[in-house]
Chains A and B, each alone.
Chain A
């Protein structure tokens, strides 16, 4: 796509007095522009933060395509690598850390905030659009002269390492400060010493609540998944076999139904009875005369 758009773009934009882009670029703009706007709207209106993050990633990929189409090859690649690759994944990591289901509360703390926000948003949009409509944008030069010579990457490198060298160096200090700052902010000082295994055992024996480790999920059940509670030999559900976080996040899968199924499957024939097909069928019907 870009191989097709790129060269024709250069040819069109190099011409004098041209104020139009190629048709291919126009089609690309309208298609990807719609996707970008939909992604942005999806980010704002999604209830779940994960959906917001994925919508924003889609918008960012569209923007990268626009950069490439406009001859900013370096920035197009950096956009994909840094924004969609690194920053959005960082967002997703933090979402997983903070809890995926942290949905917004729908209660308004400030009265009428939503109405005012809509009003302010529309007003701002109208303001910027009309300003742009009245702006004198000058002649359209195109990416040709900027990318002439050694190409886009080399020309940008020439600028960064000569005219903007000082800013570039300060940037490195900024990045190091940010990395150290993130480490300081998320570092947790341990206030009490970590309990050793011996102390844990002693605690368990002293309180006498439960000596053994917690049961693993899915044992004696029909499935081996972590969100399926284990069933005790009598067919009842072992509540503490499923991680508390999982219980809080999603409703644990139908334990009652599982109990019935497991009872059927594990129905032991009575002593003296031969394990015949008939008795299994009886047990499956739940009826033992």
Chain B
């Protein structure tokens, strides 16, 4: 097997994640799709690191994980506070700034 297959898998997962962000309305599921995209990119970083015999890719993937953890914490807090005021977790309902 060509190790580049990992890159194709990563691209496929990223595409599925992006598609999910476009099509889903539940803010939490949209958030999970973003997580999937981050994970897909991590997979390609690890694969590149192996292809080049260089650990830099893994270090960047590690930092991505840290930033993703911080992002999840803040994002979920925002979703919870929006849900408290609007009683809804749908991204369509958060449209107060429109009017």
Contacts and interface: CB of A to CB of B under 8 A. Distances in A.
B24 to A, nearest CB: 6
B15 A72 contact: no
Which 6 pairs, one residue from A and one from B, show the smallest C-beta to C-beta distance? A141-B53, A121-B19, A26-B1, A178-B70, A117-B22, A145-B53
Interface in A114-143: 114, 116-118, 120-121, 124-125, 128-129, 132, 137-138, 140-143
A94 to B, nearest CB: 5
B50 A87 contact: no
A52 B24 CA distance: 11
B97 interface: no
Among A138, A145, A178, residue most surrounded by chain B Cβ atoms (within 10 Å):
A178
Given A141-B53, A146-B53, A186-B81, A87 B13 contact: no
22 contacts: A13-B50, A21-B3, A37-B12, A56-B32, A59-B39, A63-B42, A67-B46, A90-B76, A95-B28, A104-B25, A105-B25, A120-B19, A137-B51, A138-B52, A140-B3, A141-B54, A145-B53, A152-B55, A156-B58, A159-B59, A177-B70, A185-B74
A60 to B, nearest CB: 6
Interface size class of B (residues with CB under 8 A): 35 or more
Interface of B: 1-9, 11-20, 22-26, 28-29, 31-33, 35-36, 39, 42-43, 46-47, 49-56, 58-59, 61-63, 65-74, 76-81, 83-84, 88-90, 92
A141 B77 contact: no
A138 B1 contact: no
Chain B interface main SS type: helix
Contacts of B77: 181-182, 185-186
Nearest to B66: A171
Contacts of A142: 50, 53
A164 interface: yes
B51 A75 contact: no
A80 to B, nearest CB: 11
Given A21-B3, A72-B49, A94-B80, A121 B18 contact: yes
Interface size class of A (residues with CB under 8 A): 35 or more
B71 to A, nearest CB: 8
Contact of A124 (B18, B43, B54, B56): B18
A90 B73 contact: yes
A132 B4 contact: yes
Nearest to A97: B80
A20 B36 CA distance: 27
Contacts of B67: 171, 174
Given A56-B36, A70-B46, A141-B52, 4 more contacts: A29-B1, A117-B19, A146-B58, A178-B69
A102 B6 CA distance: 35
Given A167-B63, A174-B66, A178-B74, A44 B20 contact: yes
Contacts of A95: 28
B80 A87 contact: no
A188 interface: yes
Nearest to B64: A75
A82 B71 CA distance: 13
B1 A72 contact: no
A128 B61 CA distance: 20
